[in-house]
Each structure stands twice: as C-alpha cells, then as structure tokens.
Amino acid sequence: MARVALVTGGMGGLGEAVCIKLAALGYKVVTTYSPGNKKADSWLSQMKEQGYDFKAYPCDVSDYDSAQACIAQVQQEVGPIDVLVNNAGITRDMTFKKMDKPNWDAVMKTNLDSVFNMTKPVCDGMVERGWGRIINISSVNGQKGAFGQTNYSAAKAGMHGFSKALAYEVARKGVTVNTISPGYIGTKMVMDIPSEVLETKIIPQIPMGRLGKPEEVAGLVAYLSSEEAAFVTGANIAINGGQHMQ
C-alpha cells in the first residue's frame, strides 16, 4: 500500500516541487493551504492535468485546533500519515528596531508553532506503526542569521532544536526527524526580491554563482523520506550552494 505524505504549504514554490517529487515516487500526497485561498481548486486542477491526483485540505498551521482538525480529516479520508514535511512559512522582514510584536508573533506562530501543531497529532501513530519520517524545512538564515530577520532566523533555528530533541525520543521506534536548511532557492518568494539586490548582494555570496532549484531540495526531501535514509536522524542538512558551510 502506498505511503501517505503530508506537505504543509504545498501549493507553489518549494512545496509544490516536493509534492511532485513524492508523487512521482509513489507516495499518496496531501497538502495544506491557508483557509480562504481561492486558488486552491485551480491549483489542484492544474496538477491533475499534469497527472498528479493530489488531495488538499484547508488548515491554519499556526492554530493548534485547526491543525488537529485537518490531520483528523486527512487520516480519516486518506489514511495514516507516514511522512510529514513541515514546509509552510512566511517572512515579515524588518530591523529589530522596527520589529513589533504582531510581526514577531506572526512569524513565530507560522514557522515554529506550526511544527508542533502538525507533528503532535501524527507522531504517536508513526511510533505505534514503527515507521515514520518528519522533515522540517528550515533555512540557511536559521544557521547564520540575516539582517532584518530576527523573527525568521529565530523561528528557523528553533525548528532544528525541535528536530534534534524529538529525534532522540523516537529514534528506536523507526521514526526519523530531520531538518533541511535551504539557501536561496528560485521560488516566488526569492524572485520577488529586487533583481538588483539578488545580483549584487545575494548571488555573489553563493560560491556556485546561482540560485538553487526547488527540484534540488525536493530530491533531498525524497531521500530523507525513503527506506535508505533510516539511519539519518537529528541531522540538519544544508543545501545552499556553499553559501554557508559548517
């Protein structure tokens, strides 16, 4: 029976690439989208035309009750979740001097609280079945920090602390928990950065001299979701073109 993979924030950009890659490998793929997103149906139709029969459910990942309800519906209608990719995220960039509480809270809730909210209702089931993969999509800026991103960098760094601690707890139960920290990937969010900034400030910092491709990150997600990755847990894998090396 095909395993079920749930990708949060899978409509577009990196999440879409992950959905496509996992589906191509035979997973039943489910994604979430923000309640009120009027483009969900058209996205599903576009994907179906390309041969991908994804399921999609509205979910406010920053809200615990919404996440609980979403997971319950997925498990009832699709099946137990074997792979969870915590990909949903937002930015609210500004210097700390200008940072206000609402913009701090919005990023922490969507980028970090969501990891707890979505993982909590699926982890016990993975442990009971003796198999599971939890993959948290962090960022190079969670590793090295970034000007104007105290909220984002803190949330993304927190994701890996969560991964390491939970990895300890479930390691003997066949469940792995890992973090991926992409650098600058050619998604809509990155391409919205003014081209002058990209070309003069960001790309020169990348030894490979280019942005990453969503498909490259999706390939790493696919590996961590596989049987072959059973001995990889508590890791934070950088995929940033050499921009930040540890």
Specify the DSSP element, H or E, that contains 179: strand 175-182
Residue with tokens 């927190």: 158
**Catalytic position from the list 27, 33, 57, 152:** 152
Could you give the CA distance from residue 189 to residue 184 in angstroms, rounded to a whole number? 10
Q: Pairing between strand 4-7 and 83-86?
A: parallel
Two tokens, residue 216 = 């490259």
Active site residue 57: no
For residue 151, what are the contacts with CB-CB under 8 A and spacing of at least 6? 92, 99, 103, 104, 107, 108
136: Cα separation from own chain's centroid: 5
Total number of residues shown for the chain: 246
Catalytic residues: 152
